[in-house]
Structure 1
Amino acid sequence: MIQAKNLSKHFGAQDLFDKVSFQLGPRERVGLVGRNGSGKSTLFKLILGELSADSGELSIPKGYRLGALEQHIHFTKPTVLEECVQVLNPDDFLEHEAEKILFGLGFSDEDLQKDPKSFSGGYQIRINLTKVLLQAPNLLLLDEPTNYLDIVSMRWLKGFLKTFPGEIMIITHDREFMDDVVTHTMGLHRQQLKKIKGDTAKFYEQIIQDEEMYEKTRGNLDKKRKEMEAFVERFKAKASKAAQAQSRMKALEKMSTMDKLENVDSLGFRFRFLECPGKQIAEVKNLSFHYPDKKDGTLFHGVSFPINREDRIGIIGKNGKGKSTLLNVIGGNLQAITGKVSFHPSAKVGHFGQTNINRLNMENTIAEEIQEENMDLTISGVRNICGTMMFEGDLAKKKIKVLSGGERARVLLGKILAKPANLLLLDEPTNHLDMESIESLTEEIGNFPGAVVIVTHSEIMLRNLATKLIIFHNGNAEFFNGTYDDFLAKIGWESEETKPNKTLKRKMTEKEIKQRKSEIVIERAKFTKPINEEIVQLEAEIGKNEDLLKRISGELEKATMNNDTAKLTDYAHAVGKLNHMIDSLFEKLTNANDSLEFIQKKYDTELESLDS
């Protein structure tokens, strides 16, 4: 559907990518990966036409519709529902489609009639996400769609994208989310682009294998070069060997060179642990909190739980329910209405949270801000932490006020690395980090000898780390002594099954039902026709190649019997090539049949719901 050939893009002296090529096939869901700053979002902007490539070609079929998640907020309608449905054909009765998506993304019935401008920035982005999903473009371009989503909404979006009948390209730092959705992974690495079928694990395994092969080849080449140089140096003056030395000298001049691969910058995390002799590092007893200036502002009440020396406690729940507030009360940034938090005398807390980022001294340099956290650190120690957070050399002299939000978050992480602690309070610490850095952070949190209380929407972090949970649901927070998978099995998210049942707010008339049925039949035909055509074409190609394989296999048998080595080699090569081609065609046929079944089931279910 989309083809890119030899695309290059640079900004000033920075080369993002050089002569990269790729093709996006029918119904492919592609995860785009790469380190922060590698050019992922830039590639999206090239596809959308918001930027121009320095060189190369990008081919998009005529009439092929692109849809992208818009980060810019511009609302023109008085209610959330009206703002969303304006992107649809006014003659279509598709209001229920908008409701279904909005409910899936965490909006309530009452929210749909509210002013979209009255919502927080995170929910306003969800409105934009609803609008792009409603338009059902041929290609969805989603840059960090899970930002600002809670776990329930992320789980809903994951299911939606897996059933989307078109193509998808997605950038997300959430590896589990990406792996559950994608059919292919495409990555920008060392200014080059590679695309493979499969998830991120398979992609990175391939990168490692490629680089190991590169280094092995480079080593062999260097060894050969040194041997030839030694031969030339030894025998160039000897008459009997002069011709050979001259020949090898010419060969050396023609010999290609392979540069040693440079190390790729990565964040390395090492928390400073301070021993605590007590088994229990803190106790939360009967905590309650509410905002007196808000209607029904109670976020939690009567919350009690121990924090033991090596606990890993995850705080989970929907956005806006009080998770960060609870962490701020525990950390002493907010005062509880009732109850208290009792700490062991040896407790030392490292707290990462949005309010802490806002408290950074804007006039300090990065190095000064980190030094203030631990005055016992040497200049070398401070510089090491700055380097760990990718502020190497003179970058450590930059003032906080000129940094981006992501850079300030890295400074705060640096402060926590500088501070000796035995209790870490972490509020969404993975925001602004790339996939590799998140894995490194998750591993280091797991290795930390002290206690950790973490707010996160990352299911993979919860599964890897949390052994206990604080769950915000049913209007309060409660302690759960078990893992995240235990929670899903025993309790689960109460809204996942009930929300979709609320999507039809009024009964449709017979005329509207008839019209909707007609629309469904047309939509189904629109999506299934090209797939059926592809299936017919693939079956014909498979049949043709199988007939050819049968004939060549017969010739191969004759060549074997006649001991005809030349023909034997040619026919064996042809048989191998044909087998590979037939396997590839069968794989495409399987994918096409799966997609067809999937789309038919989706529309059949909707038709059945209208009849009921």
Structure 2
Amino acid sequence: MLSIQNLHKTYGAQVLFDGASLQMTPGERLGLVGRNGHGKSTLFRLVLGEEDADSGIISLPRNYRIGHLAQHLHFTQPTVLEEACLGLPEGEEWDHYKAERILFGLGFVEEDMAKAPSTFSGGFQIRLNLAKVLVSNPNLLLLDEPTNYLDILSIRWITKFLRAWKNELIIISHDWEFMDSVTTHTAAIHRHKIIKLSGGTEKLYAQIAQDEEIHEKTRVNEEKKRKQVEVFISRFRAKASKASSVQSRVKQLEKMGEKEKLSRIANLDFAFHYAPIPAKRLMEVHNLSFHFDPHKPLIHNFNFTIHAGDRIAVIGKNGYGKSTLLNLMAGELNPLHGTVRSHPDLELGYFGQTNIDRLHKGQTVEQEIASANGALNRTAVRTLCGIMMFSGDNAEKKVGVLSGGERSRVLLGKILAAPANLLFLDEPTNHLDMQSIESLVEAIEDFEGAVVIVTHSEMILRAVATRLVLFQHGNAEVFNGGYDYFLEKVGWEEEGKQHR
């Protein structure tokens, strides 16, 4: 099994691992957590041999096969099915049904099997890569954010698949509910070490918090004792009658050592600013219709009202029109038929994937956030930068050099800069770590205005949604109730077909 001993890895002044160790056991399914930038993906690259550690030992059994989800897209076969079958282990090359089962679970349909991989979107090409890995049945499966390119139905399928996984697994995911549901153990990269225990994420972080609380209390008590000893030594050093006692205290001081004060780890902690509005209805959608391809209608005669205080989740398979609906309601697309009417005092905050792409790469974080509200002075803008974890010189970074998660935080900062009474949030958790997602969910819960969110995370759906817009049965429809109530009363159409 995978064994890591005394691992050290740095990038310049940035320390990722300082004496980290990890030991896996047969059949262990491990969830790997940690803040963005703390080394989760780097650990995968080290295990795969794509990077070298500064020092330490990473060992694997002889003939131990590792499978990992490659992000680069290179296909050699003329059809999806033939490409997926490349992953079949030796001796199973003709068991095409195994590849088909996984492809269907990941959202491909029968007619896709004979299509060329190049005809699919980037997201579906990543799914094809994932299918090749899953069908290969490796000894150790490494999955880095596998749900980023999956819709909610595919996530539900892969959850069942991974629960039945018999070999070893290490999975990185920002969705702790999904990850906890498929793993047996959890490990955190924390303060340059790897801390592992049996059980889920909440149990692990509770243990870390308890250990650090004990560390800090012990450090404070030892510091008090140290000062008392130092005072005694200073007071009686010159007295011959106390020489023996002073010497004893000096030796005691030398043996005591000194516990290091734990550094503070920055957390995303914020609240959306509410713009008061004297209205019960914020937006009304009447007979809305839209398509890009006349042969594939996305939205047809859709009627919908957003009320003050609503918590609405838009859910469905990828490519069925969820983001398109938000763009139509935000006025970024014009409907082919129907109307979208907003209250005159409506103030919209829109977190969309296209909005992230529109961030000006040549501007600094500070300049980009300031552009959202010209009435803010520099102190207020800098405060917002700090809230979004861009304190000090980090606020001077150019947007073009930021990671996906950092750009997401810049866009959130722009939304915070201007008060709003309606939020449109399109997959806002992509690229955010677990702690940042928890802060976002809390901010949504505390916001006085209305929220419409597109998400594939069942954890977030259960936490915030009281109404749903469903994309299934070939159209958008409103469900008045939460996600669990929907599963109980209606359920997913495709899952119903699988059970028949």
CA–CA separation in structure 2 for the residues paired with 1:439 and 1:90: 46
CA–CA separation in structure 2 for the residues paired with 1:173 and 1:136: 24
1:151 to partner: Cα distance: 0.6
* Matched residue, 1:403: 402
Q: AA paired with 1:275?
A: P
CA–CA separation in structure 2 for the residues paired with 1:232 and 1:316: 70
Q: What does 1:172-211 correspond to in 2, within 5 Å?
A: 172-211=173-212
CA–CA separation in structure 1 for the residues paired with 2:146 and 2:92: 29
1:92 to partner: Cα distance: 4.4
Gaps of 5+ in 2: none
Q: Does 2:62 correspond to 1:68?
A: no
* Matched residue, 1:240: 241
* Matched residue, 2:86: 86
Q: What SS does the corresponding residue of 1:136 show, helix, strand or coil?
A: coil
Per-residue deviation, residues 264-315 of structure 1 (Å, max 9, x unmatched): 0121222111111111111122211111xx3513101111121111000000
CA–CA separation in structure 2 for the residues paired with 1:57 and 1:91: 34
Q: What does 1:260-339 correspond to in 2, within 5 Å?
A: 260-291=261-292, 294=293, 296-339=295-338
* Matched residue, 2:166: 165
CA–CA separation in structure 2 for the residues paired with 1:218 and 1:185: 28
1:91 to partner: Cα distance: 5.9
1:336 to partner: Cα distance: 0.9
The answer to whether the 8 Å contact 1:425/1:453 transfers is: yes
Q: AA paired with 1:210?
A: D
Q: AA paired with 1:38?
A: H
Per-residue deviation, residues 116-167 of structure 1 (Å, max 9, x unmatched): 1111111111000000001000110001111110110001001000101101
* Matched residue, 2:46: 46
Once the two structures are overlaid, the 10-residue window that deviates more, 405-414 or 319-328, is: 405-414
The answer to whether the 8 Å contact 1:79/1:116 transfers is: yes
Q: AA paired with 2:287?
A: N
CA–CA separation in structure 1 for the residues paired with 2:223 and 2:210: 20
1:90 to partner: Cα distance: 6.8
The answer to whether the 8 Å contact 2:86/2:93 transfers is: no
CA–CA separation in structure 2 for the residues paired with 1:12 and 1:154: 38
Q: Does 2:120 correspond to 1:119?
A: yes
1:239 to partner: Cα distance: 2.5
1:358 to partner: Cα distance: 2.0
The answer to whether the 8 Å contact 1:103/1:500 transfers is: no
The answer to whether the 8 Å contact 1:104/1:500 transfers is: no
Q: What SS does the corresponding residue of 2:149 show, helix, strand or coil?
A: coil
CA–CA separation in structure 2 for the residues paired with 1:295 and 1:337: 11
Per-residue deviation, residues 23-79 of structure 1 (Å, max 9, x unmatched): 110111000000001111111111111111111111100011111111110001111
1:402 to partner: Cα distance: 3.1
Q: AA paired with 2:84?
A: C
CA–CA separation in structure 2 for the residues paired with 1:329 and 1:421: 18
Q: AA paired with 1:173?
A: H
* Matched residue, 2:151: 150
Q: AA paired with 2:14?
A: Q
Q: What SS does the corresponding residue of 1:368 show, helix, strand or coil?
A: helix
The answer to whether the 8 Å contact 2:271/2:446 transfers is: no
Q: Does 2:250 correspond to 1:254?
A: no
The answer to whether the 8 Å contact 2:282/2:306 transfers is: yes
Change (3 A) 1:314 1:169: same
The answer to whether the 8 Å contact 1:140/1:169 transfers is: yes
Segments ≥4 residues shifted beyond 3 Å: 89-93
* Matched residue, 1:20: 20
CA–CA separation in structure 2 for the residues paired with 1:19 and 1:246: 36
CA–CA separation in structure 2 for the residues paired with 1:227 and 1:319: 66
CA–CA separation in structure 2 for the residues paired with 1:85 and 1:222: 63
The answer to whether the 8 Å contact 1:40/1:171 transfers is: yes
Q: AA paired with 1:25?
A: T
1:250 to partner: Cα distance: 2.5
CA–CA separation in structure 2 for the residues paired with 1:436 and 1:300: 35
Per-residue deviation, residues 482-505 of structure 1 (Å, max 9, x unmatched): 00011101111111242488xxxx
CA–CA separation in structure 1 for the residues paired with 2:76 and 2:173: 29
Gaps of 5+ in 1: 502-612
The answer to whether the 8 Å contact 1:270/1:417 transfers is: yes
Per-residue deviation, residues 185-210 of structure 1 (Å, max 9, x unmatched): 00100111110000001100100010
Count of residue pairs brought into register by the alignment: 499
Q: What SS does the corresponding residue of 2:75 show, helix, strand or coil?
A: coil
Q: What does 1:195-594 correspond to in 2, within 5 Å?
A: 195-291=196-292, 294=293, 296-499=295-498
1:254 to partner: Cα distance: 3.0
Q: What SS does the corresponding residue of 2:58 show, helix, strand or coil?
A: strand
1:359 to partner: Cα distance: 2.0
1:255 to partner: Cα distance: 2.2
The answer to whether the 8 Å contact 1:100/1:500 transfers is: no
Per-residue deviation, residues 347-394 of structure 1 (Å, max 9, x unmatched): 100000011122223332221111111112121111111122222212
Q: What SS does the corresponding residue of 1:240 show, helix, strand or coil?
A: helix
Q: What SS does the corresponding residue of 2:146 show, helix, strand or coil?
A: coil
Q: AA paired with 2:12?
A: G
CA–CA separation in structure 2 for the residues paired with 1:428 and 1:92: 38
The answer to whether the 8 Å contact 1:314/1:466 transfers is: yes
Q: What SS does the corresponding residue of 1:7 show, helix, strand or coil?
A: strand
CA–CA separation in structure 2 for the residues paired with 1:345 and 1:91: 64
* Matched residue, 1:507: none
Q: Which has the higher contact order (CA 8 A, sep 6+)?
A: 2
Once the two structures are overlaid, the 10-residue window that deviates more, 274-283 or 135-144, is: 274-283
CA–CA separation in structure 2 for the residues paired with 1:359 and 1:55: 42
Q: CA RMSD in A?
A: 1.3
Q: What SS does the corresponding residue of 1:147 show, helix, strand or coil?
A: helix
1:342 to partner: Cα distance: 1.4
Give the number of the structure whose alpha-carbon radius of gyration is greater: 1
CA–CA separation in structure 1 for the residues paired with 2:76 and 2:248: 77
The answer to whether the 8 Å contact 2:408/2:431 transfers is: yes
Q: Does 2:105 correspond to 1:109?
A: no
Q: What SS does the corresponding residue of 1:113 show, helix, strand or coil?
A: coil
The answer to whether the 8 Å contact 1:267/1:389 transfers is: yes
Q: What SS does the corresponding residue of 1:362 show, helix, strand or coil?
A: coil
TM-score normalised by length of structure 2: 0.97
CA–CA separation in structure 2 for the residues paired with 1:446 and 1:392: 26
Q: AA paired with 1:218?
A: R
Q: What SS does the corresponding residue of 1:241 show, helix, strand or coil?
A: helix
